[in-house]
Amino acid sequence: MSDTIFGKILRGEIPCHRVYEDDLVLAFLDIFPLSKGHTLVIPKRAVATLDQLDDDSAAALGRVLPRIARAVLAASGARNFNVLQNNGEGAHQAVHHVHFHIIPKFDDGRGLGIKWQPGKLDNAEGATLAAAIAGRLA
């Protein structure tokens, strides 16, 4: 994949406010936060989207996300938060290096705004689709 701003942060070429680092993961404050404490958690492996990520990096992210979330909550004073993970420009991804947003949600509304427009799952379609997904996971 082409280099990104997060690659430059990982190589120390541009600064960041680092909150956590291990062999596979780096976490730092978002430079344009939606709310106080908005943190980005990234794998050191440079792939664009989550579906391309190797199991070891994925496991490392999963292991530390709850711990980082607890620290962000404690430091920001928020009680609630969203985890956002965008994949592809059509899904609002601007930086093409996998990243998880941890976004504190405050009682006054600061944080992630969500426009949720649910459909209704048809039973037959659901069965077909679940089988198609499960078949690719087998």
Catalytic residues: 99
Which residues ranging from 3 to 62 are in contact with ligand 5GP (CB under 6 A)?
5, 16, 28-32, 40
Out of 12, 51, 55, 92, the only residue in the binding site for ligand 5GP (CB under 6 A) is 92
Out of 2, 55, 94, 117, the only residue in the binding site for ligand 5GP (CB under 6 A) is 94
For 81, the token pair is 């938060």
Parallel, antiparallel, or unpaired for β 18-21 and 25-29? antiparallel
Residue with tokens 């980082």: 68
d(CA 59, CA 77): 28
- Per CB under 6 A, does 73 bind ligand 5GP? no
Three-state secondary-structure class, residue 84: strand
d(CA 61, CA 41): 8
Q: How many chain residues are in contact with ligand 5GP, going by CB under 6 A?
A: 13
The least CB distance from residue 93 to ligand 5GP, in Å, is 4
Q: DSSP state, 36?
A: T
What length is written for the chain? 138
d(CA 74, CA 62): 19
- Can you give the binding site for ligand 5GP, defined by CB under 6 A? 5, 16, 28-32, 40, 86, 92-95
